[in-house]
Amino acid sequence: MDYINLINSNTKISGSVTDPIKIILDQVEVQEWQEKRRKELEARLKPSEWAEIGIVFDDAYIIAIRDFVEFPGGYRNGYIRLFNRAYLEGGAAGVVILPEQDGKLLIMRQFRHATRLWHWEIPRGFGEPNVKAEVQAEKEVQEEIQGKIAELFDLGTFYNNTGLEGHPVNLFLARMESVGEPEKAEGIERLHWVSVSELEKMIADGEITDGFTIAAYTKAKLKGLI
């Protein structure tokens, strides 16, 4: 699949020609900038790969693209964007689910490789190609907490890092019918039920630092669902 053309032809992702930061697609201009940039990098003993435009990283989950862009005022440079592969292949980039039952909210103590730390957070996961967000949400809840959802509320989308990630993540509140055991194989140590006020205190005190958890709580609270 040609991801570059897919992204640049999709106005939902790339924007319009009137946007202040413009993507330059003219190959002559791109090549001229690359040649100049490589010489600058080599003179500074830096990797020449930093001048590459296009797909610069591609694996089963993430695609990183360096665009050649022009900023307001005329400054031109390479600019990285990350995309979840599933999002480009017809699925949700990711889903985040805030479980609720009998007025209590479920959080999990989970170890994360990226930070090498334990975090209090709620179930979430990458999307899958051609899988709707609602279906993915049910799958994540079942896998991570052996849960069964009675009712699922769409809280809308959330951009985790607007300076880097080009895809939105889908947020949900799930009224739970049942909850089982945590999935130890995913680094989940234990589950913990808290009241809304307890969750708010944990956020205020810095015990909860996960942005997805804070976003889902905020949307659910402002929508009057918790």
**Do 49 and 7 belong together in one domain?**
yes
**Do 75 and 111 belong together in one domain?**
no
**Do 180 and 195 belong together in one domain?**
yes
Domain that holds residue 213: 94-222
**Do 61 and 133 belong together in one domain?**
no
CB 216 within 8 A of CB 100: no
The structure tokens listed for 8 are 């640049």
User: Could you tell me how far CA 96 lies from the centroid of its own chain?
Assistant: 10
The residue out of 88, 108, 140 marking a domain boundary is 88
Phi and psi at residue 123, in whole multiples of 5°?
Answer: -60, 140
pLDDT at 5: 67
The residue out of 58, 88, 118 marking a domain boundary is 88
| pLDDT classification of 29: cutoffs 50, 70, 90 | very high
pLDDT at 8: 61
Q: pLDDT for 159-203, tens place per residue?
A: 999 999 999 999 999 999 999 999 999 999 999 999 999 999 999
The structure tokens listed for 45 are 């003993």
**Do 83 and 42 belong together in one domain?**
yes
**Do 63 and 82 belong together in one domain?**
yes
How many structural domains does the chain have?
2
pLDDT at 15: 60
Q: How many whole angstroms separate alpha carbon 220 and alpha carbon 215?
A: 9
Q: How many whole angstroms separate alpha carbon 189 and alpha carbon 112?
A: 11
Stretch 22-29: mean pLDDT: 95
The structure tokens listed for 138 are 């049910």
CATH number of the domain where residue 173 is located: 3.90.79.10
The structure tokens listed for 18 are 């009137």
pLDDT at 93: 95
- The residue ranking higher by pLDDT, 148 or 11, is 148
pLDDT at 4: 67
**Do 99 and 200 belong together in one domain?**
yes
Q: pLDDT for 101-156, tens place per residue?
A: 999 999 999 999 999 999 999 999 999 999 999 999 999 999 999 999 999 999 99
> What is the pTM (predicted TM-score) of this model?
0.91
The residue out of 88, 105, 131 marking a domain boundary is 88
| pLDDT classification of 19: cutoffs 50, 70, 90 | confident
Contacts of residue 177, Cβ cutoff 8 Å, sequence gap at least 6: 147, 148, 149, 150
Question: What percentage of the chain reaches a pLDDT higher than 90?
Answer: 92
**Do 61 and 120 belong together in one domain?**
no
**Do 73 and 126 belong together in one domain?**
no
The structure tokens listed for 88 are 């480009």
Q: How many whole angstroms separate alpha carbon 163 and alpha carbon 124?
A: 21
Stretch 42-65: mean pLDDT: 96
Whether 1 has a pLDDT exceeding 70, the answer reads no
pLDDT at 33: 98
**Do 150 and 179 belong together in one domain?**
yes
**Do 114 and 215 belong together in one domain?**
yes
pLDDT at 18: 80
**Do 112 and 210 belong together in one domain?**
yes
Q: pLDDT for 67-113, tens place per residue?
A: 999 999 999 999 999 999 999 999 999 999 999 999 999 999 999 99
